[in-house]
Chains A and B, each alone.
Chain A
């Protein structure tokens, strides 16, 4: 049973380019969460999605960031016109439909570096 998969593991972009981060949840999991970890800081919630729906995006920056979890395929976190401050580790987590206690299982992360 494969865990949460994220790709790429490392992504380098120049300022102004777009970054696309992909997350495949664990088999049977229909809830996906994205978190960001800045250097020397803890993980910060960004967005919570279920299939084809955004449930909570209270942690997402208002501009340049978007997320989707289509009916088929992985969840995508998209950052347009990246800036140096976007450099961070981005983690995806998933949980099963019946996660009453909200246990979340994390992927290995994508480390984004903006030059």
Chain B
């Protein structure tokens, strides 16, 4: 069974703090996506990483793909209340077509 372990599950921080969310597996991904989901809505794609060691930036969000393509991280700098939400990593294994999701990280940024 292919599993994605995402940590932490819950994170409550003050505005202005930095944070990192981790996504790990024992299997190699062919690609990995990060999504953000608001209550009552579907996941919204933030980024796709494909190449081992790849780093992508989206404003204050930095996404990194591990060299072995088994792990990924999302780092948010100077978090703002608008960053509050559920963050999900999802991996594709060997071009099966289906996404395997981590359990999600619920982030709360307090003003």
The A interface, classified by DSSP as helix, strand, loop or mixed, is strand
8 A Cβ contacts from A80-112 to B? 91, 93, 101-109, 111
A42-B103 in contact (CB<8A): yes
A-B contact pairs, 24 of them (CB 8 A): A35-B101, A42-B88, A43-B88, A43-B90, A44-B101, A45-B98, A45-B99, A45-B100, A55-B97, A56-B96, A56-B98, A91-B42, A101-B30, A101-B31, A101-B50, A102-B30, A102-B31, A102-B95, A104-B45, A105-B45, A106-B42, A108-B40, A108-B42, A109-B41
The range of chain A's interface size is 20 to 34
Q: Which residues of chain A come closer than 8 Å to B33, judged between CB atoms?
A: 103-104
- Complex Cα distance, B100 from A33, in Å, reads 12
- Complex Cα distance, B95 from A48, in Å, reads 12
Q: Which residues of chain A come closer than 8 Å to B31, judged between CB atoms?
A: 101-102
The B interface, classified by DSSP as helix, strand, loop or mixed, is loop
**Interface size (B, Cβ < 8 Å)?**
25
- Complex Cα distance, B4 from A42, in Å, reads 11
- Complex Cα distance, B31 from A48, in Å, reads 17
Closest to B103 in A: A42
8 A Cβ contacts from A3-17 to B? 4, 6
Beyond A4-B42, A55-B97, A56-B96: 16 further Cβ-contacts under 8 Å?
A33-B99, A43-B43, A43-B99, A56-B97, A59-B98, A93-B42, A93-B99, A101-B48, A101-B50, A102-B95, A103-B48, A105-B45, A106-B35, A106-B42, A106-B44, A108-B41
Question: Which of A41, A59, A103, A104 has the most chain B CB atoms closer than 10 A to its own CB?
Answer: A104
Q: Would you give the shortest CB distance from A44 to chain B, in whole angstroms? A: 7
Q: Does A29 contact B (CB under 8 A)?
A: no
Q: Would you give the shortest CB distance from A30 to chain B, in whole angstroms? A: 12
A106-B43 in contact (CB<8A): yes
Closest to B44 in A: A106
